[in-house]
Structure 1
Amino acid sequence: MPEGHSVHRIANQFRASFVGKPVEVTSPQGRFAAGAAKLDGATIVDAKAVGKQMFLEFDNGLFLTVHLGLYGSWDFAGDFSLDPTTRSAKGRMGQTNMRGTELVDSAGEDSWKSIGAPRRARMRMSESEKREDDIDVFPPEPIGAVRVRILAETVVADLRGPTKCDVATPEEVDATIAKLGPDPLVDSPKKGADRFYERVHKTKTMIGLLLMDQSVVAGVGNVYRAELLYRARLNPHTPGNEVPEETVRALWKDWTKLLKSGVELGQMMTMSHLSKKSYAAAMKSRDDRHWVYHREGLPCRTCGTNILMEEAAGRKLYWCPVCQA
């Protein structure tokens, strides 16, 4: 499932490529035909992400709200405009260490090697970003079960497999956002930290579950949950109301840092203080980007104890029983 940084990057791409443009909205699959008709012909005026949800605002007073869930993805095709994070990466999304070194992810997360050539490119954005075959004809025919197609003059976005896809009023959007926890890229540092501490401190639920609760903090998924707890040397079973306030606020500060890094890099890089060589290796292979995530049975990178994996509310929780004792 895409975590917060991926959804913010998708919103960035919509702002760069669609905002200010009238669009044709259709439902090639047919399941969203009524909703598409309400948005068809309107102009997109804004795109924003809060946690794992994205909100496209149209000039007719309506929003398209999308939660990708486990299987959702956006496919962009055509003549792309670049969002600021892509420009800063010299047109390479998800394959650069932001220091001018071109890297190719061995797992395929290489996105665009050159976003400006050819002009009619195709890319899929979800949990990862992958460059697809270039297109010869614009707009391309929909591939698969496309729930929503958003077509501007030179660029198209196709949505497939979302958990949630609705047309909403401003009041409905406000109500949805009000139910979500703070997001470091939406809330101010102090407001976000205060809201996070308030929601953690009032419950006995273990912190390992609270970090996955989108009403407590927006955008954290399984990878970031495991890595944040390890970086804080915090036992995931600690009740929220027993986590010291300074630790809760440090968690928020670290989440802010990791989220911003994820948006910039297009990768969940959660290791720090690496040598230049180790950093380059980590950016080439996702297996080298994390302290504990997906490392059950392997030695802890710090103490050598085998990393544990357990089921927690139906999701896999990874942690070190020594470093996080």
Structure 2
Amino acid sequence: MPEGHTLHRLARLHQRRYAGKAVSVSSPQGRFSPSLVDGRVLVRAEAHGKHLFHVYGPDAVVHVHLGLYGTFTESSLPLLAPVGQVRMRMVGATHWTDLRGPTRCEVLTSAEADEVCARLGEDPLRRDASPDRAFARISRSRSSIAVLLMDQKLIAGVGNVYRAEVLFRHNVNPSLPGNQVSRALWDAMWADLVVLMKDGVRVGRIDTVRPEDMPSVTGRAPRQDRHGGEVYVYRRAGMPCLICGTPVATKELAARNLYWCPACQG
């Protein structure tokens, strides 16, 4: 599932290409009703966690959650015929985009969109995020920090990659209960998430390896993975830790695979 940086990157792209102008919106697949937004001016595009919002006015906000299989494909004009099951097509003055396979694609009012956001936690990529509110809830929980970081009602936008990597970068045992996370540790992890996720928005992939541990410095082979990016432990089960050489461990936790170094994070 795309993590929060992907949705913020899409929001910035759609803001740049479509906001402030009338947009043609259709549903070639027929599973989305665009009548309330077709031909209207897109006021803004924004993201909260893993959710994307196209705001056309107080009575019409297109809410998209990509889920596991949703994707946007972007192209400049001229317009081509739809290929595959296109849930939503947006056509602007210079570009067009097709949305396929999302978990959610619906028109909401501003009040309804606000209700969606109210159910989400603090997004490290949003200016209105409050690490204080997040810590207040984490510090009362007996659940592990690995579980809490993936709870979208607490931290919006962090997925499996950022979860594994930020825990490694701060030498945190994934099983550490939330109520044993110090304020200093939380502040350091939050600040790190902000930097890492902003970099993800900028480059379009997740890189978490520090400069001194990059292949160009250490001489190791670059990562070969369809997800791209240099990481410490994510999807490196059984491979040597880049810092200490201990095989990276993995287990299923809350229906997701967790990765960590038993030595560095012991």
TM-score > 0.5 by shorter chain: yes
Cα offsets for 1:282-313 (capped at 9, x unmatched): 58866770110111011111111111010001
User: Following the alignment from structure 1 to structure 2, what is the Cα–Cα distance between the partners of residues 288 and 43?
Assistant: 36
Partner of 1:110: none
- What is the CA distance between 1:185 and its match in structure 2? 2.2
Q: Which has the higher contact order (CA 8 A, sep 6+)?
A: 1
- 5 Å matches for 1:130-209? 138-188=78-128, 192-209=130-147
Q: Deviations over 1:66-92 (max 9, x none)?
A: 01010000111115xxxxxxxxxxxxx
Question: Equivalent of 1:216, from 144, 154, 164?
Answer: 154
Structure 1 spans left out of the alignment, 5+ residues: 80-137
Aligned to 1:46: 44
How do 1:1-325 residues align onto structure 2 when only pairs under 5 Å count? 1-32=1-32, 35-59=33-57, 61-79=59-77, 138-188=78-128, 192-274=130-212, 277-278=216-217, 282=222, 289-325=230-266
* Cα distance change, pair 223–153 in 1 and its aligned pair in 2 (3 A): same
Q: Aligned equivalents of 1:309 and 1:288: distance in 2? A: 19
Letter paired with 1:48: E
Counterpart CA distance in 1 for 2:243 and 2:185 is 20
| Residues 23 and 150 in structure 1, CA contact (< 8 A), matched pair in contact too | yes
Q: 1:247–1:224: structure 2 CA closer, same or farther, 3 Å change rule? A: same
Shift of 1:60: 6.3
Q: 1:156 to 1:291 in 2, by over 3 A?
A: same
Q: Is contact 1:42–1:60 with CA below 8 Å preserved after alignment?
A: no
Name the CA distance, whole Å, in 1 between partners of 2:88 and 2:211: 43
Which whole-Å CA distance do the structure 2 matches of 1:192 and 1:184 have between them?
8
CA distance in 1, matches of 2:205, 2:228: 12
- What is the letter of the counterpart of residue 313 of structure 1? A
Cα 1:37–1:219, aligned 2, differ >3 Å: closer, same or farther? same
Q: Give the deviation of 1:59 after TM superposition.
A: 3.7
Matched residue, 1:94: none
Q: Give the whole-Å Cα distance in 1 for the aligned partners of 2:39 and 2:228.
A: 45
Superposed displacement of residue 235, structure 1: 0.7
* Aligned-residue CA RMSD (Å): 2.0
Shift, 1:61, TM fit: 3.2
| Percentage of pairs with the same residue | 43
The one-character-per-residue Cα deviations of 1:229-268 (angstroms, maximum 9, x if unpaired) are 1011111111111111211111111100101111111110
Secondary structure in 2 matching 1:216: coil
